[in-house]
Structure 1
Amino acid sequence: SFRAKEKHPKNMMLPSQSFTIAMFSNWNSGLFSCCDDIKSCCYGFWCCPCLACTVSGLFGQNHCLPLCDICSPAVTSAFGIPLCVPPAGLALRVGIRQKYEIKGSLCKDIATSCVCVWCSWCQLHRELKYRNHTPAVVNQPKK
């Protein structure tokens, strides 16, 4: 009878479980909030490929990665494969959104990357500037 109680204890203690709840934030600025940062807006308007390469570098990726978006439609259409989603732009957008836990979805990222490429790159640039310049708060215990 003692062994039966060992197999099926009624008051079994479970190890404490900890759950991490991700607190998702919004984008620092809206998709069409170019007036929030005129420099980024002008940079994107006058030389969007240059801005895209800058965003890629700020995010720690190869600076030339966004140039794949320029070449990919020509290459894929040569093989008869239509492509409307810029792959590098979409990948960077998803990566930034996931790294900084920004609200959104893959469907919204695809739509944003396809509908307004310039606005998307400008928003990503503003977001990285904001995230990279936000000071970190460090609490040190008193000695």
Structure 2
Amino acid sequence: MSSKMVIRQPQPVMVSQDSDEWGSGICDCCENAPECCFAFWCFWCFACKTSKDYGQCLCLPLLDLFRTGITPAVTMSMRASMRQRYGIKGTMCKDCVYSTFCTACTWCQMSREMKRRNIQIVLVSAKTS
């Protein structure tokens, strides 16, 4: 007679408590003052870094330099993409207004949102006796 011992490992459970709203307002730059200063003093470097962190081409924001209209298309598209990826409520109209009149603040808000939602998952090993 053979006996089998079955051990069931604890499974990781991930509970998402993300909201369908932005984690910070468009003017909440005080939440991360060094990042806000970086965006103010070296905007294009900050936008390129944020774009790369989001998984897009490093130089993508530089295309906004060549815009023919008033609205920065790349900034607006990145904001709309981020809303889609994270399930954030909003409208293209708001994306357009924020991207056009608050460009640096928009990039700061997107950067804060990525940091807030990019929670590292840590698996802790179970002790066996």
Q: Normalising TM by the smaller chain, what interval? A: 0.7 to 0.9
For the residue of structure 2 that corresponds to 1:37, the secondary structure is helix
* Aligned position for 1:47: 42
* Aligned position for 1:25: 20
In 2, Cα distance between equivalents of 1:130 and 1:41: 16
CA contact (8 A) 1:84 1:114 kept: yes
* Aligned position for 1:84: 70
In 1, Cα distance between equivalents of 2:28 and 2:54: 21
Alignment counterpart, residue 55 of structure 2, candidates 55, 60, 76: 60
In 1, Cα distance between equivalents of 2:120 and 2:24: 18
Residue segments in structure 2 that go unaligned for 5+ positions in a row: 1-17, 124-129
CA contact (8 A) 1:53 1:66 kept: yes
Q: Deviations over 1:3-48 (max 9, x none)?
A: xxxxxxxxxxxxxxxxxxxx86111111000001112101111111
1:1-143 to structure 2, matched below 5 A, reads: 25-72=20-67, 76=68, 83-132=69-118, 134-136=119-121
Q: Deviations over 1:93-141 (max 9, x none)?
A: 1001110001111111001101111111111111112122x24487xxx
Residue segments in structure 1 that go unaligned for 5+ positions in a row: 1-22, 77-82, 139-143
CA contact (8 A) 1:53 1:63 kept: yes
With the length of structure 2 as denominator, give the TM-score of the two structures. Answer: 0.77
In 1, Cα distance between equivalents of 2:115 and 2:42: 18
CA contact (8 A) 1:40 1:126 kept: no
Identity of aligned residues (%): 42
CA contact (8 A) 1:55 1:121 kept: yes
Segments ≥4 residues shifted beyond 3 Å: 135-138
With the length of structure 1 as denominator, give the TM-score of the two structures. Answer: 0.69
Residue 85 (structure 1) shift: 0.8
